Amino acid sequence: MLPARFDYVAASSVEEAIAAKAEGGDEARILAGGQSLLPMMKLRFATPSKLVDINRIDGLDAIRSHNGHWHVGALVRHADIAASGAVSGAVASAAPWIADPLVRNLGTMCGSVAHCDPEGDWNSVLLATGAEVVAQGPSGRRTIAIGDFVQDFFTNSLAEDEMVVALHIPVPSGRSGGSYQKLERKVGDYATVGVAAHLELAADGTISAAGVAMTSVAPINRKATDAEALLVGNAPSVELFAEAGEAAAAAADPRDDVRGSARWKRRVVAAFTRRALTAAAEQAQA
């Protein structure tokens, strides 16, 4: 299957890419890994008039640690993250479960985040860890909290003349841990349910910060804010995590589909939230 015709620009700098994208207006798309965009174009779900290929731009393929954040460039592939010894917590936990090995070799974290597919795993991880998206436009860069970036089903808050150049993910520090739990029917399928959890512990062992976010169970990746509120200020326990699991299940809004009934998916959210929190607490207490 061939995509519909489009103009193709291989940009050699971020500035050139932004200018080319701006020229194409809302029908222009950035091509990074292409592992979601090209399949959508082949099925004619997406028919951009222009593709701006950023794969030949230097300097976008590194993961750097700076000021307490991992800076993940726009050309860092899922496989790079999975192979990197530099990341930990929920990010390291999720990386091997993105799509399949072949897709991970080309697909990028920034591209997946910008795609805003509610069945994409990374946005849950970023919501749980409190990450930021770095967007660059003609007048410079701005950082956007992930909660403000993810607007709706396949909709982000980028302007037409902006592109995602990096993600800033807080490096877990002190007594902290994170985990991503994913149920998939087979490798490469969308998540039936995914839950990301991040915990930080105070000196007295109580939870000082908590992030919980869910994949595939709402129109967009959704933070389980009630569950987070329950956790903060309390000591980790089986009972607490079970209660947080129920709160997350209540916040989920799954649908009946080929992957299972809504009722069953809510139970999976409860169980996976409990498991993700347990794994996060074990790391934090280690």
Partner 1 sequence: MEITININGTDHTADVEPRWLLVDHIRTGAGLTGTHIGCDTTSCGVCTVLVDGTPVKSCTMLAVQADGREVTTVEGLKSADGLHPIQQAFSDEHGLQCGFCTPAMMLVGAALIDENPAPSDDEVRWAISGNLCRCTGYMNIVKAIQAAAAAAASSNGDG
Instruction: Kindly write out the interface string for residues 183-202 of this chain, putting x where it contacts partner 1 by CB under 8 A and - elsewhere.
Output: ----xx--------------
Q: Is 106 in the site for partner 1 (CB under 8 A)?
A: yes
Nearer to partner 1, 32 or 214 (CB): 32
Q: By rule CB under 8 A, what string of x and - marks binding of each residue 22-41 to partner 1?
A: ---------x--xx--xx-x
CB of 207 to partner 1, least distance (A): 34
CB of 269 to partner 1, least distance (A): 25
Among 16, 23, 53, 160, binds partner 1 (CB under 8 A): 53
Q: From the CB of 96, what's the least distance to partner 1, in Å?
A: 8
**Inter-CA distances, 239 with 197, 231, 236, 255, 280, Å:** 17, 11, 8, 28, 15
Strand partners, 179: 197
CA count, 13 A, side-chain hemisphere, 106: 11
Task: State the minimum distance, in angstroms, from the CB of residue 113 to partner 1.
Answer: 19
Whether the CB-CB separation of 260 and 192 falls below 8 Å is answered with: yes
In order of 4, 17, 39, 266, 281, the CA distances from 47 in angstroms are 6, 19, 11, 35, 45
Cα of 207 vs its chain's centroid, Å? 24
Q: Is there binding between residue 108 and partner 1 (CB under 8 A)?
A: no
Q: Does 7 bind partner 1 (CB under 8 A)?
A: yes
Residues in the chain: 286
Tell the smallest beta-carbon distance from residue 56 to partner 1 (Å).
9
10 binds partner 1 (CB under 8 A): yes
Q: Give the helix/strand (H/E) hosting 182.
A: strand 176-183
Tell me whether strands 176-183 and 132-137 are parallel, antiparallel or unpaired. unpaired
For residues 261 and 268, what is the distance between their CA atoms, to the nearest angstrom?
A: 11
In the list 68, 101, 138, 219, the residue contacting partner 1 (rule: CB under 8 A) is 101
**Is residue 42 involved in binding partner 1 (CB under 8 A)?**
yes
List contacts with partner 1 (CB under 8 A): 1-8, 10, 31, 34-35, 38-39, 41-43, 51, 53, 55, 99-103, 105-106, 187-188
